[in-house]
Structure 1
């Protein structure tokens, strides 16, 4: 019985010493300019003619642009509001127009 107890204590001691390992590595912040991220999402809309979940990232990146260039962001926001309701060729046309403003 004493050898079983020693083995259990040894296991607990090893677990306590090793712990869970090193901490996680911090993820670097995304340094891609917001205009480039919007352009990528708009290109998808131009290619597919479909408006979907990329609209959320476009909106957040327009907000980021607004921190540096409020006039540009306001113009993009107007087009964004139209793009939200558009489908097919109309969506393609609005997306192309927005890309030109970037």
Structure 2
């Protein structure tokens, strides 16, 4: 059972991060009790997404917290994330469940 009591959705935009490293920000949130992390990045290319997601997944695993990837089933599969967040305009659930 996933504990959804403190669900963090990341934002990689410079205006939000203000020069801070995303992984450092996420680790601080994990130390503060975050129970689920959703990695959301709508602008980076696939290579950057996979690299960052891999770092985040390792970090989340060290705290026993699941990592969800926003929109990108391929990135979630590549890093072994615990799940994917799919919005109304994203890939359908029925198609996403066939990707491995």
- Does TM, scored on the shorter chain, surpass 0.5? no
Structure with larger RCO (C-alpha < 8 A, sep 6+): 1
Return the TM-score normalized by structure 2: 0.32
- Between structure 1 and structure 2, the one with the greater Rg is 1
Which structure is higher in helix share? 1
Which structure is higher in strand share? 2
